[in-house]
């Protein structure tokens, strides 16, 4: 169990003692708290590292592009919330760096957008093995994923065009961040994305978070 999950469990236990809520209600509260804490930690980490590397806005834009699309398209999951935070933060900072270092061309950005669109149409939604979804919900999630993808593509295209016409290079950076964030999320739906995430997960568990894992075993 990760640090975040331990905190949520303790909060849930206190709520259970101080209220007459049912087990199902407590689980719903715990899930909401978990999502809120993880989102806040993610924003804080991205903001701090974004400040250090000078890509705050670009990294946050990439982070939101990934998060908004992920809600409906699904994708590979890390084994712990901590690894999810680490990988998500690193990816958005990398995207921010690429977006500001390489302005690129409009046609190349649209090429990346087309790849994302094809992957979203063909792969989404990717369901969890533990939580299968019905065909009706699958169709609804696919439609939502496609709609969000179209919105992101439209916004990034407009930002790039406006930035190019008005010589506002920062708008081109924002457009790149949106497109690359969407591309990463689309890639996470594929088998290759799953394998890469699995390798990163294994590496972080074995070499970076091994101290925490040892402590948990001893307890």
49-66 tens-digit pLDDT: 999 999 999 999 999 999
pLDDT of residue 109: 87
Q: Where are the alpha helices (DSSP H) in 54-168?
A: 56-73, 81-101, 106-123, 135-165
Mean pLDDT of 88-115: 89
Q: Find the largest Cα–Cα distance for the chain.
A: 61
Query: Distance between CA atoms of 58 and 50, rounded to whole angstroms?
Result: 8
pLDDT of residue 21: 61
Q: What angle do CA 101, 104, 105 make, to 5 degrees?
A: 165
Does the structure show a pLDDT above 60 at 67?
A: yes
116-146 tens-digit pLDDT: 999 999 999 987 665 667 888 889 999 999 9
Helices 169-187 + 56-73 axis angle, to 10: 30
pLDDT of residue 63: 94
166-211 tens-digit pLDDT: 888 899 999 999 999 999 999 999 999 889 988 888 888 877 766 4
Residue partners of 210: CB distance under 8 A and separation at least 6: none
Single pTM value for the model: 0.82
Residue with tokens 């994923």: 145
156-169 tens-digit pLDDT: 999 999 988 888 88
């Amino acid at each position: 169990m990760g640090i975040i999950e331990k905190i949520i469990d303790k909060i849930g236990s206190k709520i259970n003692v101080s209220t007459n809520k049912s087990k199902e209600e407590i689980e719903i509260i715990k899930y909401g708290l978990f999502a809120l804490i993880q989102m806040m930690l993610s924003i804080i980490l991205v903001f701090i590292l974004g400040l250090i590397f000078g890509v705050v806005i670009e990294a946050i834009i990439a982070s939101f592009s990934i998060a908004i699309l992920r809600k409906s398209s699904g994708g590979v999951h890390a084994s712990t919330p901590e690894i999810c935070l680490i990988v998500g933060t690193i990816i958005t900072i990398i995207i921010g760096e690429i977006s500001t270092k390489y302005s690129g061309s409009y046609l190349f950005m649209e090429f990346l957008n087309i790849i994302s669109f094809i992957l979203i149409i063909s792969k989404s939604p990717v369901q969890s093995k533990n939580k299968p979804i019905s065909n009706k919900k699958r169709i609804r999630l696919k439609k939502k994923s496609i709609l969000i993808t179209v919105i992101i593509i439209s916004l990034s295209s407009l930002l790039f065009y406006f930035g190019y016409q008005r010589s506002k290079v920062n708008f081109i950076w924002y457009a790149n961040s949106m497109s690359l964030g969407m591309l990463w999320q689309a890639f996470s739906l594929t088998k290759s994305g799953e394998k890469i995430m699995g390798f990163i997960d294994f590496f972080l568990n074995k070499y970076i978070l091994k101290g925490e894992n040892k402590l948990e075993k001893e307890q």
